[in-house]
């Protein structure tokens, strides 16, 4: 057998690969016993190795010496992507790091399939950046370059919700894919056609689970680390509010890795000295000093899932301060996630609007993506479609299965 063509879904939070086998799209396990792997990288400084997936997350949690990165897809198309940075003895751009991740994905697929893999149909969001077509095009270029660096000789892109539509099967009547992922929300309206499906309209916005994590963190956790607190003026009497930017970065998955610098540490230590309430900013100093930003973000995400599934969840910040475990309740989720859920509803309206289709005409709505499991999102979407049947099966793998189907058509 010659070289293989596979489908790869490089997601903001999770990635996956699949291939056509016996007429079906079959997952290529990239980690033992799992169909998907976390889109995470750990540059291990002691071992001088690059770890990906669960191994990367494990190394970060253990507190090994190195740099952990997650949500790297979000930086595609931004100036950050091509900035060179020093990582121990290597100077790398973030695109180099994405390429290392994809190189490892390709190597693991080759090992599983027992033959070379040199072609890929890769997923891409309809829009990486909602309102900026130049940045959007740049992001697609960046991602193409990463796949090329990873050794894929031929790269074709397919919009993620269109791939999911293919995998979903023809069904009857108008179908709508609602893919709410980690970084973007993507929509495809489709109908049955002579061979497979016909795409009527696709649309997307840059809004997903990592944004929900950021919003929850800013609303309920960052205030406990001093956000919104007051500092005494250095010269003369009077107070001013502690600057906000750092809290936004600490709450954003893709920015956390770049916060740890001597300059930032000096600054937050100064704030703690000037603080009216030094205890809270003291916690911020610990987070920056001990590089616990990702631990905080994981704690927020875990509490989000627990609050969604069980009605409440503690944000376990005991690594920052013993006993610090603020509770996120379902009501917090409902309140904080109402505006983004509304935005998703609006974007769905735009998708239908461009096609001149009314919600009444949609026969099936297919939920895809991890964040479609959030009650706040689910309720918002269901309310829009009084006449539709709702389906949710392989939320984490529908996209990559569709990419594998497309990869076989070359």
Ligand X SMILES: Nc1ncnc2c1ncn2[C@@H]1O[C@H](COP(=O)(O)OP(=O)(O)OP(=O)(O)O)[C@@H](O)[C@H]1O
Interface positions with Mg ion (CB under 5 A)? 11, 181
The rounded distance, in Å, linking the Cα atoms of 121 and 401 is: 11
Is 217:332 a contact under the CB 8 Å cutoff?
Answer: no
Binding site partner of 175, from Mg ion, ligand X, none, Cβ cut-off 5-8 A by kind: none
The rounded distance, in Å, linking the Cα atoms of 247 and 221 is: 10
| Smaller CB separation from ligand X, 147 or 396 | 396
| Smaller CB separation from ligand X, 36 or 103 | 36
3-state DSSP of 111-172: HHHCCCEEEEEEEECCCCCCCCHHHHHHHHHHHHHHHHHCCCCEEEEEEHHHHHHHHHCCCC
Q: Residue 301 carries which DSSP code?
A: H
Binding site partner of 301, from Mg ion, ligand X, none, Cβ cut-off 5-8 A by kind: ligand X
Distance in Å, CB of 370 to ligand X, minimum:
2
Binding site partner of 204, from ligand X, Mg ion, none, Cβ cut-off 5-8 A by kind: none
Distance in Å, CB of 274 to Mg ion, minimum:
43
Is 219:213 a contact under the CB 8 Å cutoff?
Answer: no
| Smaller CB separation from ligand X, 73 or 106 | 73
Binding site partner of 210, from Mg ion, ligand X, none, Cβ cut-off 5-8 A by kind: ligand X
Binding site partner of 73, from ligand X, Mg ion, none, Cβ cut-off 5-8 A by kind: ligand X
| Smaller CB separation from ligand X, 271 or 367 | 367
| Smaller CB separation from ligand X, 127 or 283 | 127
Beta pairing, strands 14-21 & 24-28: antiparallel
For residue 122, which of 86, 104, 146, 93 has the smallest C-alpha distance? Answer: 146
Annotate 327-363 with b (16+ C-beta within 10 A) or e (fewer). ebebebbeebbeebbebbeebbeebbeebebebebbb
Binding site partner of 340, from Mg ion, ligand X, none, Cβ cut-off 5-8 A by kind: none
| Smaller CB separation from ligand X, 183 or 340 | 183
Tell whether the torsion through CA atoms of 217, 312, 60 and 141 is positive or negative. negative
The rounded distance, in Å, linking the Cα atoms of 120 and 112 is: 16
Is 72:80 a contact under the CB 8 Å cutoff?
Answer: no
For residue 304, which of 381, 370, 257 has the smallest C-alpha distance? Answer: 370
Distance in Å, CB of 15 to Mg ion, minimum:
9
Closest residue to ligand X, judged by C-beta, is: 209
Distance in Å, CB of 408 to ligand X, minimum:
22
Binding site partner of 184, from Mg ion, ligand X, none, Cβ cut-off 5-8 A by kind: ligand X
Distance in Å, CB of 14 to ligand X, minimum:
4
| Smaller CB separation from ligand X, 15 or 50 | 15
Binding site partner of 50, from ligand X, Mg ion, none, Cβ cut-off 5-8 A by kind: none
Distance in Å, CB of 365 to Mg ion, minimum:
17
Distance in Å, CB of 399 to Mg ion, minimum:
5
| Smaller CB separation from ligand X, 156 or 280 | 156
Q: Where do contacts with ligand X occur on this chain (CB under 6 A)?
A: 11-14, 39, 73, 160, 181-184, 208-210, 301, 305, 308, 369-371, 373-374, 396
Considering just the CA atoms, what is the radius of gyration of the chain in Å? Answer: 22
Closest residue to Mg ion, judged by C-beta, is: 181
Distance in Å, CB of 113 to ligand X, minimum:
23
Is 177:168 a contact under the CB 8 Å cutoff?
Answer: yes
Q: Which residue bears the tokens 């939070």?
A: 13
């Amino acid at each position: 057998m010659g070289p293989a063509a596979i489908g790869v879904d490089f997601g903001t939070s999770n990635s996956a690969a699949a291939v056509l086998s016996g007429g079906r799209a079959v997952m290529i396990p990239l980690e033992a016993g799992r169909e998907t792997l976390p889109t995470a990288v750990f540059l291990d400084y002691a071992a001088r190795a690059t770890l990906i997936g669960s191994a990367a997350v494990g190394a970060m949690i253990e507190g090994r010496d190195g740099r952990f990165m997650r949500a790297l897809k979000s930086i595609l198309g931004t100036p950050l992507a091509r900035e060179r940075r020093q990582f121990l003895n290597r100077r790398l751009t973030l695109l180099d790091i994405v390429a290392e991740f994809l190189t490892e994905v390709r190597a693991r697929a080759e090992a599983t399939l027992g033959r070379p893999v040199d072609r890929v149909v890769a997923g891409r969001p309809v829009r990486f950046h909602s309102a900026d077509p130049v940045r959007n095009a740049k992001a697609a270029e960046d991602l193409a370059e990463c796949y090329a660096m990873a050794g894929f000789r031929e790269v074709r892109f397919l919009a993620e919700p269109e791939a999911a539509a293919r995998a979903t099967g023809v069904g009857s009547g108008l179908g709508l894919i609602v893919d709410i992922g980690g970084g973007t929300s993507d929509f495809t309206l489709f109908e049955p056609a002579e061979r497979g499906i016909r795409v009527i309209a696709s649309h997307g916005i840059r809004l997903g689970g990592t944004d929900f994590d950021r919003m929850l963190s800013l609303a309920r956790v960052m205030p406990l680390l001093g956000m919104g607190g007051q500092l005494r003026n250095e010269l003369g009497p009077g107070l001013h509010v502690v600057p906000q930017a750092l809290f936004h970065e600490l709450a954003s998955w893709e920015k956390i890795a770049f916060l740890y610098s001597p300059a930032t540490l000096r600054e937050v230590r100064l704030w703690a000295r000037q603080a009216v309430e030094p205890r809270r900013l003291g916690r911020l100093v610990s987070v920056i000093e001990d590089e616990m930003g990702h631990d905080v973000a994981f704690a927020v995400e875990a509490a989000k899932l627990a609050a969604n599934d069980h009605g409440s969840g503690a944000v376990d910040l005991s690594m920052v301060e013993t006993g610090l475990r603020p509770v996120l309740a379902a009501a917090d989720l409902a309140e904080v996630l109402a505006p983004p859920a509304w935005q998703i509803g609006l974007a769905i309206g735009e998708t239908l609007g461009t096609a001149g289709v009314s919600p009444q005409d949609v026969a099936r709505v297919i939920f895809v993506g991890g964040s479609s499991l959030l009650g706040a999102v689910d309720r918002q979407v269901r309310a829009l479609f009084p006449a539709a049947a709702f389906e949710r099966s392989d939320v984490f793998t529908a996209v990559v299965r569709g990419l594998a189907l497309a990869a076989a058509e070359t």
